[in-house]
Each structure stands twice: as structure tokens, then as C-alpha cells.
Structure 1
Amino acid sequence: MAYVPKTVEKMFVRANTVAYRASGGKIGGSFYNSPVLLLTTTGRKSGKERTTPLLYLLDEERYIVVASDRGAPKHPAWYLNLRDHPDVTVQIGSQKISATATEVTGEDRDQLWPRLVEMYQGYDDYTAKTTRTFPIVTFTPK
């Protein structure tokens, strides 16, 4: 993928979020044939709600996402937010779900990573851009 300046990326994220909400996920509900959810976290510094569209994999009752930030050297803000405030809201289509975020580690992570890369090849490409390990997070409905 080509380099996209952060300001352009933020504008795209905002536009995608607005379109997703207005259309119940009909617009912005997929990216490269992968499903998209809206994650709303509580800002760790501001305390304000922050919403981010993310690709996800459904695994039984868990929604699984990758904190890749397109291979950036630092973890994305949404991930840092949910480490401090794991109670989140996930929107899939027009359905909003209260959930708890949990980072996946060990064998569970090892089993999920190939499935996530199969869903979206970009994750594998992003790993070449950074030395950090991408956290994998699950959202489990309350």
C-alpha cells in the first residue's frame, strides 16, 4: 500500500465512520473483502469516546482485531485506550454491542494470526515495516 499522510488517514477514518453509522454498515462495512466494525473506546487521557473502524474476524462469539496501525512503529491509540479502559462498544452493521476487550497471547494468538493474514494479506506486509509485534485483541459481548 502507498504511503498516506496521517491527516489524510484521519479524514478517511472520520468519513468512513460517518458513512458506516448513517448506512448501518452498508457503506464502509468492508475493506478488501474483509468485514469492518466500529470500535468505540474511552480515551485514556481525555476520557472522551473515540471511534475507529477496524477489520475483524468473527470467531464463535468473539470479534478479533489486530492493532497493526499499518505497520507503524507505535501501537495505535485505540489499543492504548482499551488497555486502560477494556469496556468498549462494538458496532457491526446497525447493531451496537457492549463488550470487554482482551489481548490474545500464547497459543491462541499463534492459532489466530494465520487466519487473520488469510482474511487480510496486508497484515503480513505490515510486519515487514516494523519490529513490534502486533497485539491481537478480542471483544467478547457482555
Structure 2
Amino acid sequence: MTSNQQTGNRKKPGPLTRASLWFQRRTNVKTNEKIRRKGGKIMGMDLLILHTVGRRSGQRRESPVTWFDGGDGTRLIVASGGGSRHPDWYFNLVAHPDKTAIEIPGESAVPATPQALEGAEREQAWQRITEAQPRYAKYQKKSDRRYPVIRLTPR
């Protein structure tokens, strides 16, 4: 998997501080606990827990991520990151694609192969995603950064 350039028209993000990283990680922990306890549907969207390894730290990371059915047992995820930048988990996937796993509520984490979709494949996946959740089309319109769409294939 390779990283594409990230630019965006939305408000420029400030530097990540220790406090903001701590807050994000704590929020992820709480959301992951909720997913494991109550299932993966939050605010009308299906969530999974994406297991990655930090690109710089080498530490295991778990991120709650909205997913969409990609067909053939695959799942599609969008690296929207709030519109302003790619989320950290995306860069972790790029750096360590072989250390990726997905956890669906009620199941153990399984290794997965991430693939950034391009061209017609991406367009078909994007159509599927925006039909299921039109809010993603609204988010994309607010940013000139094209959101990466990732297919996760269980290994």
C-alpha cells in the first residue's frame, strides 16, 4: 500500500499535541469497549476495530472504523480523518500492511490485507459507500482532499 498526498480545503489542523493524542486514544479505547460490549452499530453505522502497528512507535493500535460490505467477505473503510488530514491508522496501514487485522464484534481479530483502491474500483466502492451512508458524500464535498478507500480482505 502506498500513501497519496494529503491536502484539504477544510480548516488546517493544528499540530498534534500530547493532550490531543491522549484524548483520541482514550476515546478509541472507550469506543472499542462499547463495540465489544454492545456490538458494532453506532449512530446507524457498522464499526469494526482495526488493528495496526504504529508506523513510528511500533506499538499495537486499535482504532474503531466505520465499514461497508465490499462483497466476497471483504470490508471497505474510508480514511476521511475528519476531512483535514488522513487518520493515523491510514499511515500505520501504509507502513505495516502485513500487520493489519480486523475485529468484528463477537469475533476474534483476523489478519487482513489492506488495498488502497484506485480508478474504477475506487469509484464503484465509493458509490456503494455513499449509497449506504450519504453523509460521506457531504464530507467529501467539503474537502478537496480525495478520501482514500481501503479494501480489507481477511487472510
Shorter-normalised TM range: 0.7 to 0.9
What TM-score, normalized by structure 1, do the two folds share? 0.84
RMSD over equivalenced CA pairs, Å: 1.9
Determine whether 1:50 maps to 2:65: no
Determine whether 1:91 maps to 2:79: no
Moved more, 82-91 or 123-132: 123-132
Q: Is residue 70–residue 123 contact of structure 1 (8 Å, CA) maintained in 2?
A: no
- The equivalences for 1:66-81 within 5 A come to 66-72=78-84, 74-81=85-92
Return the offset for 1:79: 0.4
Return the offset for 1:103: 0.6
For residues 30 and 115 of structure 2, what CA distance do their matches in structure 1 show? 28
Match of 2:7 in 1: none
Q: Is residue 37–residue 92 contact of structure 1 (8 Å, CA) maintained in 2?
A: yes
Determine whether 1:118 maps to 2:135: no
Return the offset for 1:9: 6.7
What TM-score, normalized by structure 2, do the two folds share? 0.78
Q: What is the aligned residue count?
A: 132
Q: Structure 1 regions of 5+ residues with no counterpart?
A: 1-5
Structure with bigger RCO (C-alpha 8 Å, 6+ apart): 2
Q: Is residue 35–residue 41 contact of structure 2 (8 Å, CA) maintained in 1?
A: no
Moved over 3 A (4+): 6-9
Q: Is residue 41–residue 50 contact of structure 1 (8 Å, CA) maintained in 2?
A: yes
Match of 1:3 in 2: none
Match of 2:147 in 1: 134
Specify which structure has the higher proportion of strand.
1
Return the offset for 1:113: 0.6
Q: Structure 2 regions of 5+ residues with no counterpart?
A: 1-15
SS in 1 for 2:147: coil
